[in-house]
Structure 1
Amino acid sequence: FLPTVKNFRRKKIAKEVRAILEDMVQKREKAIKSGATNYHDLLGLLLESNNTNDNKSKMTLDDVIEECKLFYFAGHETTSMLLTWTMVVLSTHPTWQQRAREEVMQIMGSTTDPPTLDQVAHLKIVTMILYEVLRLYPPVVFLIRQTYKRVTLGGLDFPAGVRLLLPILMIHHDREIWGDDADEFRPERFLEGVSKAAKHPLAFFPFGWGPRICIGQNFALIEAKMALAMILQHFSFHLSPSYTHAPYAQLTIHPQFGAPIILEKL
């Protein structure tokens, strides 16, 4: 720990977040014991795992707090960045913005009610756009996986316990996989679905893949489709002249200088 201004601020914020979550957990535990509430939400399900005789499956207070922090980050930060980059991209591709709006208006009309799940399921163009944005600006730049048994990959033999880094951003922009237009916004590449969008059926994995795929994948996509549909339904938008395109990769990809977008009510 270096005593810099940023590190002191991070430490202070971490303490405040922990104190808030610890208080929430303790209050919920008391409410559950008194019968005033149940396990029908995320925090309740996490606490329910402790009502077992198997000590190996029980979660400590630290475990519960870390899971709550993870779900907040995964459910808020990544989805907000997906919507931010989608609006940036559609601002620079007005034809696709209009195609998406026409689809939304055809399916949803001019109602002020939120879209239903059935309506969301029929938003094909919106889905293609979101997939392409996820490819260009994946919510997580890389993933780390650890081998649990000996495995051979690409002619190399890895024993159990080796940590492998999966560079999602690099693979999503690989011209050998996606073609010479790998850096271009072309939603039509997903016209026949994810598996046929690239030369390899598993080349698109913004949420990971396999048994440890992001459990919030479907929810995040539904949330993004609903939000984007409601924006397209009521607004047109374009980039402010002050916008500077500078994707900045940390764990997620941020617009380094923000994304000032001008909305006009339809």
Structure 2
Amino acid sequence: MEVKGITIAIYLACVLVVKLLWSIFKWLWLNPKRLERCLRQQGFQGNPYRLLYGDTKDRERMLLEARSKPLPFLSNHHLSRVLPFFHHTLNKYGKKSFVWNGPVPLVTIAEPELIRNVFMKINEFQKPQSNPYFKQVATGLVQVEGHHWAKRRKLLNPAFHMDKLKLMHHAFWASSSAMIKEWEKKTSKTGSCEIEVWSYLQNLSADVISRAAFGSSYEEGKRIFELITEQIMVAMPLINSVYIPGWRFVPTRENKRMTKIDKEIRNLLKDIIQKRKKAIKEEEKLKDDLLGLLLDSCLEEIGHENKKQSYTKLNLEEVIDECKIFYLAGQETTSTLLVWTLILLAKHQNWQQRAREEVLNTFGNVIPDFHQLNHLKTVNMILQEVLRLYPPVSELNRTVTKDIKIGEVFLPSGVLVNLPILLVHQDEELWGNDAKEFNPERFNEGIIKASKGNMSFFSFGWGPRICIGSNFAMYEAKLVLALILQHFSFELSPTYAHAPSAVGTLRPQFGAPINFHLL
């Protein structure tokens, strides 16, 4: 009887091992070859599949090489530096191509009408879930899908309406004014001074979010931003490499650091949340900011009498997730938009002067008014053109969740879709022969006219999942730029090296030194 039991155990163990090996074989070879065959039958071209790694090693090698040297002075031909392997693939195979993201093919979709389809079919094209490192960095609304996303989005939308931004106007101004005063102090002795603006703009965006969205000062949130920045630097190589299931549980130095950072961020956010909950319990008015709205959604937990049953209740961890992603996305998006705006206006003095004249004619030297900021046509044209040439995110990826046909293209379940923002934004077939030139005039009659009605401009995404904080970012950028133009003229420092680099967002690899002159 005992021998029979051992035999059964051995048999079951063998069955499990065989099933495991079969699953690994399917993941590593059968599925990739099936997907590759399907794509090639439709005319897509790419490198042959290489076991496990695909194109990731070549991609990493070319990226390191590209980042080793800057571009010629302020060249907008930066696709080859920002996404060198993608640029290489386009040159070799054309737009109808794919690259291997480990054992998964990443298919390029660059036709405007197909891009529109991908953005609209949010259930069939979902955010990639295969790499847990990305999920650890980008939490909350960015990651949830289906009805959970729909309810969460409905809950958060009111926090980003223009009427809510109006209530935050003073907080926006207080943060921006503090930076302007520091720059004035630096330039006061001689009337001019070189300032490395990238670090200032990162701190400014962090302060704005802390004040406007969470009611705290930058000092309270400073450690959170430092940790998020470090987490991005640790995570990016892990995100861009092949993820082997279960690897994040291996106690490597990177894994341990990621876990430690995440824990510290959550503890700091938890402290901010607990302070606010305590204030609510002491019958203080619920603040009309993002954190107030999030806490209003979980009032069952904190015992508020005016809880709204129609809302999806968020638990504490979900509130922390939303706080974290807003800290990350809000700071990165606005600071990168502002830094490239200052760099381009420092080069194109004619547009700097046009923008300054508009600001001074509208506000003079007084504090910019909330409503009038939205009527700065030239400033808005400039910001749209900066977003076209230097979008905060260079590409968006989606997972195909089931077999689907868009246009004449059949996409099998399991492939990844790449929407190459930077490529489409600078496509001469869509934007004309001057597609890579800085020309805000193209937005004189708005985005639809500039893009000829095509889906060729989507720096904040598009469709149902368009970035929820786009109004927040644009409003902050307009206010900060207006204040800078009121107080300074500026040009690029001779020490500036033009080196756009995608590390989470598109940022200047070697900083942005600019010479400022008091007006």
Shift of 1:255: 0.4
Q: Distance in 2 between matches of 1:163 and 1:154?
A: 17
Partner of 1:47: 295
1:23 to 271, 286, 289: 271
1:3-55 per-residue CA deviation (whole Å, 9 max, x = no partner) reads: 45x76655544332211101122333333344234253211211222247979
Asked whether 1:89 is paired with 2:337, we answer: no
Asked whether 1:60 is paired with 2:308, we answer: no
Q: Distance in 2 between matches of 1:12 and 1:71?
A: 20
Asked whether 1:14 is paired with 2:267, we answer: no
The letter for the 1-side match of 2:491 is: H
Structure 1 window deviating more from structure 2 (53-62 vs 119-128): it is 53-62
Structure 1 window deviating more from structure 2 (47-56 vs 221-230): it is 47-56
Confirm or deny: 8 A CA contact 1:247 1:256 kept in the other structure: yes
The letter for the 1-side match of 2:457 is: F
Kindly indicate whether structure 1 or structure 2 has the higher relative contact order, using CA contacts under 8 Å at least 6 residues apart.
2
Partner of 1:74: 329
Partner of 1:257: 510
Shift of 1:64: 1.2
Count of equivalent residues: 263
1:210-264 per-residue CA deviation (whole Å, 9 max, x = no partner) reads: 1111122122111111110110111001111111001001321010100011111
Q: Secondary structure at the match of 2:449?
A: coil
Asked whether 1:198 is paired with 2:451, we answer: yes
Structure 1 window deviating more from structure 2 (175-184 vs 76-85): it is 175-184
TM-score, reference length from structure 1: 0.87
Q: Closer, same or farther in 2 for the Cα pair 1:160/1:48, shift >3 Å?
A: farther
1:155-212 per-residue CA deviation (whole Å, 9 max, x = no partner) reads: 1245788753322122112222112211110101101100011244331111111111
Q: Distance in 1 between matches of 2:474 and 2:309?
A: 35
Q: Secondary structure at the match of 1:245?
A: coil
Structure 1 window deviating more from structure 2 (183-192 vs 25-34): it is 25-34
TM-score, reference length from structure 2: 0.47
Confirm or deny: 8 A CA contact 2:404 2:412 kept in the other structure: yes
Partner of 2:40: none
Structure 1 window deviating more from structure 2 (20-29 vs 10-19): it is 10-19
1:124-166 per-residue CA deviation (whole Å, 9 max, x = no partner) reads: 1111000000011111222344568875323124578875332
2:283 to 3, 23, 35: 35
The letter for the 2-side match of 1:18 is: R
Partner of 1:135: 388
Alignment of 1:92-241 (within 5 A): 92-111=347-366, 113=367, 115-145=368-398, 151-158=404-411, 164-241=417-494
Confirm or deny: 8 A CA contact 1:141 1:250 kept in the other structure: no
Q: Distance in 2 between matches of 1:171 and 1:64?
A: 35
The letter for the 2-side match of 1:25 is: I
Q: Closer, same or farther in 2 for the Cα pair 1:38/1:142, shift >3 Å?
A: same
The letter for the 2-side match of 1:215 is: I
Q: Secondary structure at the match of 2:450?
A: coil
Q: Distance in 2 between matches of 1:234 and 1:213?
A: 34
The alignment yields a C-alpha RMSD, in angstroms, of: 2.7
Confirm or deny: 8 A CA contact 1:194 1:201 kept in the other structure: no
Confirm or deny: 8 A CA contact 1:151 1:157 kept in the other structure: yes
Gaps of 5+ in 2: 1-247, 301-306
Q: Closer, same or farther in 2 for the Cα pair 1:99/1:159, shift >3 Å?
A: same
Confirm or deny: 8 A CA contact 1:39 1:48 kept in the other structure: no
Q: Distance in 2 between matches of 1:223 and 1:56?
A: 29
The letter for the 2-side match of 1:28 is: R
Shift of 1:121: 2.2
The letter for the 2-side match of 1:61 is: L
Confirm or deny: 8 A CA contact 1:177 1:200 kept in the other structure: no
Confirm or deny: 8 A CA contact 2:428 2:434 kept in the other structure: yes
Q: Distance in 2 between matches of 1:65 and 1:37?
A: 21
The letter for the 2-side match of 1:177 is: L
Q: Distance in 2 between matches of 1:53 and 1:220?
A: 29
Gaps of 5+ in 1: none
Q: Secondary structure at the match of 1:104?
A: helix
Confirm or deny: 8 A CA contact 2:379 2:478 kept in the other structure: yes
Structure 1 window deviating more from structure 2 (246-255 vs 19-28): it is 19-28
Structure 1 window deviating more from structure 2 (184-193 vs 39-48): it is 39-48
Q: Which has the higher helix share?
A: 2
Q: Closer, same or farther in 2 for the Cα pair 1:106/1:88, shift >3 Å?
A: same
Confirm or deny: 8 A CA contact 1:142 1:251 kept in the other structure: no
